[in-house]
A = this chain, B = another copy of it.
Amino acid sequence: MSVFDEDTAVERLDEESWAGRVTSRWNVGSVPNGGYVLSMAGRAFTQALAHPEPLTVNAFFLAKTEIGDARLLVESMRTGNKISFGSARLIQGEQEKMRVTAAYTDLGALEGPEYVESGPPDAPGPEHCIPADMLQVEFSKRFDIRYLPAYSGLLEGERMDRAEFVAWSRFRDGREPDALSLLLFADAFPPALFSRFGVTGWVPTVELTVQVRRRPVPGYLLCRFRSRYLTDGLVEEDGEIWDSEFNLVALSRQLAKFRIPETGRGGL
Over the window 244-268 of chain A, the binary record of Cβ atoms lying under 8 Å from chain B Cβ atoms (1 yes, 0 no) is: 0000100101010110000001111
B-contacting residues, A96-152, CB 8 Å = 96, 99, 101, 103, 110-118
**B residues near A232, Cβ cutoff 8 Å:** 110-112, 114, 213-214
| A115 and B78 form a contact (CB under 8 A) | no
Q: Which of B101, B193, B231, B253 contacts A60 (CB 8 A)?
A: B101
**B residues near A96, Cβ cutoff 8 Å:** 77-78
Give the interface of A toward B (CB within 8 A).
55-56, 58, 60, 62-63, 77-78, 83, 85, 87, 96, 99, 101, 103, 110-118, 162-163, 193, 196-197, 206-207, 209, 211, 213-214, 227-234, 236, 248, 251, 253, 255, 257-258, 265-268
Supply 17 further A-B pairs (C-beta < 8 A) apart from A101-B207, A112-B265, A113-B266: A56-B207, A56-B255, A83-B206, A99-B101, A103-B255, A111-B233, A112-B234, A112-B258, A113-B230, A113-B233, A114-B230, A115-B268, A209-B253, A211-B236, A229-B248, A231-B248, A236-B251
Can you spell out 12 A-B residue pairs with CB atoms less than 8 angstroms apart? A55-B255, A56-B206, A58-B209, A62-B85, A77-B96, A78-B96, A111-B266, A112-B233, A112-B266, A116-B230, A209-B209, A213-B234
Q: Which 9 A-B pairs have the closest CB atoms?
A: A112-B233, A112-B266, A113-B268, A110-B232, A115-B230, A118-B228, A58-B58, A117-B228, A62-B78
